[in-house]
Amino acid sequence: MILYLDTSALVKLYMKKLGSQAVRALLERARVISTSRVAYVEMRANLARKLRQGEVSEEECRYVLSDFEKDWKNYFVIEFSEGVAQWGGELVGKNILFGPSMPCILPQLFSLGSGYARMCFSPPLMEGLTRRLKLKD
């Protein structure tokens, strides 16, 4: 299975939150983990906000950021252009990208429209993620 993780799923993967177990269960079945380039910035911004608001300690922030940075190199990162972003916005506006099927459609939208995607999946990523996730439970 190819698993697409948006920013909210990435947060659940790296921090214990409602829905974390569901994301981890999907991760265990995935052969490839994909995400969008923008998720990198959103994840870092989310973590910085949590630190500023006192939701995480500096130590936890460093730990999560370290894991995220190590894993990021191995994700299938979906690039997309301004044109693709606008196209996606139009589809959302027409209720074409809306509801439960959205996570399945977004990777196709970005990969078809971008003309460029970087494959960075490796078995060590899966082993490392699985090991860390078991330690956090």
Residues 6+ apart with CB under 8 A from 48: none
Question: What is the chain's alpha carbon radius of gyration, rounded to the nearest angstrom?
Answer: 15
| pLDDT tier at 37, thresholds 50, 70, 90 | confident
pLDDT, tens digit (0-9, with 9 covering 90-100), for 12-36: 999 988 888 999 899 888 888 989 8
Instruction: Check residue 88 and give its pLDDT.
Output: 65
Pick the CATH number of 2-79+116-136 from 3.90.870.10, 3.40.50.1010, 3.20.20.80, 3.90.930.12: 3.40.50.1010
| pLDDT tier at 128, thresholds 50, 70, 90 | low
Instruction: Check residue 83 and give its pLDDT.
Output: 74
Give the whole-angstrom CA distance, residue 15 versus residue 33.
17
pLDDT, tens digit (0-9, with 9 covering 90-100), for 58-113: 999 999 999 999 999 989 998 877 776 777 667 666 654 444 444 444 544 544 44
Enumerate the domain spans of the chain.
Answer: 2-79+116-136
- pTM of the entire structure? 0.63
Tallying the residues shown for the chain, one arrives at: 137
Instruction: Check residue 91 and give its pLDDT.
Output: 64
Structure tokens at 115: 């003309």
